Structure 1
């Protein structure tokens, strides 16, 4: 049972919400800046392994038991889907598209979750509001895909980048769905630590296959990229996630879930303000459409509609390791 917010707890909830909004919204720009002088898969692998190690130590010091073999295996599968197939591909795609576009396509993950649940083995038709959200989400993605491209700016549509982001969002959705039934550690922090550690190892191994290691030149890594990397580890993966877990325990889940449609707004604004990404009319229109879609799915997800689609309705309560 969640505590009633008093003056202090209300203040803490506000701080935690602001942390999740800003820190997670800033991860897209953080990745964009980090990969300016760091190979994308290697950067992501070291980032998550480092964050996972910190969370693992914190969990163990707080008395949480070590994961058993089966839990490590399930965590590795989730880590592969969320971090390698999800975050790793997002980082790679940001070499070709803007962080704004990346954040908007990833914001549509609840749409894929709903579709997976709907067409699952025991799925039933979701309510009208959720269907409207699904249709709006697909429309928003179409607006992004078919906007005129001007590749030199790095902010227009690049078909390869868009396809990569769609694959990343599908992988993220699949990982979230799988994690619902997988045997993973009960402790949210230990579960995330296990996923980050295994996903980080997979990303580092994959970076060798893609040739990222041969592209790594430590002497050429800029201070700007180092700062962005530090931000991703400390604020994106550790502080942001811890704040989110605290919110789930001390505030309504519906309030915590608002990050899903605030993060892309923050990402779009930061992309424009910090790295000079141009906002086209199509991007702004797509932002409005996709955010409206996520709002609809979030608002109508709690309406009576049981069975398989229910699994898809709790995406905000899933492991959020991709941030």
Structure 2
């Protein structure tokens, strides 16, 4: 599972390069609409090939709500925040999601209580993320709140997946929530955006990668991971995404990488290790349980 999480972080981290480049050739929300519309079309085709059934009515309302929270509002808030905030600061505030989800999980998800080690890991990871982005606190207060709300919206959607949709086919869920989100993004763009799209070879590449790999494949992976792993552990691992985005910017966009940024990356990795690692008490408990099971097998 750790390998799958790592691959997802690589995909979403590298996708920041395409998102940044795409802003120069598309209206921002329209690009997000293109991205998720293509992702939804790919997933519909996969569902047809695999003969995935239509959602049950009792689940459909949750699919729609998650589509609004996780795809439509989440991406709207990011794109609108970018008009007044730097990309680094926006990504930091967006990836405050693990903090919100960990706090929600403590109160609302059985078996995901917030222990000292996990809390320390979350705090260190968030601090490292702020340092790694080397963000400047500029911009309007509404834009800051909007960016924070994107992380909160994503956390709420993830909580719903854990509480209400654990029994669902994750391919089915991802497809239908993406259809809802893409429709909302395109509708917003038609009503409020008036810029022009400049098509060419590279703009097509931006849409194809972000739509097929960064949306269809990545969100299926994330939904599967979230259904199998503790919400807090899965979400804190995503702090790697903006870190990989910074490294990708250095490699492909000629952005600078300072020692402060490197220090922040180290903090993020330390936070992820604290949250995902087991404490000595847990390891002792696991070893004791394994020993007791072996003893029981011998007695039989």
Q: Which TM-score bucket, shorter chain as reference?
A: 0.7 to 0.9
Which residue of structure 2 lines up, in the alignment, with residue 175 of structure 1?
A: 157
Q: 2:189 aligns with which of 178, 199, 207?
A: 207
Corresponding position of 1:109? 97
8 Å Cα contact 2:89-2:136 kept in structure 1 = no
Partner of 2:57: 69
Asked whether the equivalents of residues 8 and 221 of structure 2 are also in contact (C-alpha less than 8 Å), the reply is yes
Deviation at 1:123, TM superposition (A): 9.4
1:91-125 CA distance string (max 9 Å, x none): 34345555555444444422211112335598986
| Cα distance in 1, alignment partners of residues 119 and 174 from structure 2 | 31
Equivalent-residue separation in structure 1 for 2:120 and 2:48 (angstroms): 44
Structure-1-length-normalised TM-score: 0.70
Determine if the alignment matches structure 1 residue 192 to structure 2 residue 174.
Answer: yes
Look up the match of 2:36.
48
Q: Which has the larger radius of gyration?
A: 2
How many matched pairs?
Answer: 277
Question: Structure 1 pair 227/145, CA: closer, same or farther in 2 (3 Å)?
Answer: closer
Take 1:266 and 1:142, find their aligned partners in 2: how far apart are those partners? 14
Contact 1:20 1:259 in 2 (8 A): no
Matches within 5 A, 1:76-225: 76-97=64-85, 99-120=87-108, 126-140=114-128, 143=131, 147-148=135-136, 158=139, 162-183=144-165, 186-209=168-191, 211-212=192-193, 214-215=194-195, 217-218=196-197, 220-221=198-199, 223-225=201-203
Taking only aligned residues, the RMSD between alpha carbons, in angstroms, comes to: 3.8
| Distance 1:98-1:277 versus aligned 2 partners, 3 A rule | farther
- The yes-or-no answer on 1:31 pairing with 2:19 is yes
Q: Please give the residue correspondences for 1:156-305 in structure 2 after superposition, counting only pairs within 5 Å.
A: 158=139, 162-183=144-165, 186-209=168-191, 211-212=192-193, 214-215=194-195, 217-218=196-197, 220-221=198-199, 223-241=201-219, 260-280=238-258, 282-299=260-277
Is residue 134–residue 261 contact of structure 2 (8 Å, CA) maintained in 1? no
- Contact between 2:33 and 2:186, CA under 8 Å: does it hold in 1? yes
String of CA shifts for 1:10-44, please: whole Å, max 9, x gaps.
xxx97x67753432221222211112221222221
Q: What TM-score results when the alignment is normalised by the length of structure 2?
A: 0.74
Pairwise CA distance, 1:261:
4.6
The alpha carbon displacement at 1:60 in A equals 2.5
Deviation at 1:89, TM superposition (A): 2.2
Separation in 2 of the partners of 1:263 and 1:194? 25
Give the SS at the match of 1:26. Answer: helix
Q: Which whole-Å CA distance do the structure 1 matches of 2:226 and 2:157 have between them?
A: 20
Shift in CA distance, 234/183, structure 1 to aligned 2, threshold 3 Å: closer
Q: Which runs of 5+ in 2 are unaligned?
A: 283-300
Query: Structure 1 regions of 5+ residues with no counterpart?
Result: 3-12, 150-156, 305-323
Answer 1 or 2: which has greater helix percent: 2
Cα gap change, 1:120 to 1:184, in 2 (>3 Å): closer
Q: Closer, same or farther in 2 for the Cα pair 1:86/1:182, shift >3 Å?
A: same
1:45 to partner: Cα distance = 1.9
Deviates more, 1:107-116 or 1:276-285: 276-285
Contact 2:174 2:223 (8 Å CA) reproduced: no
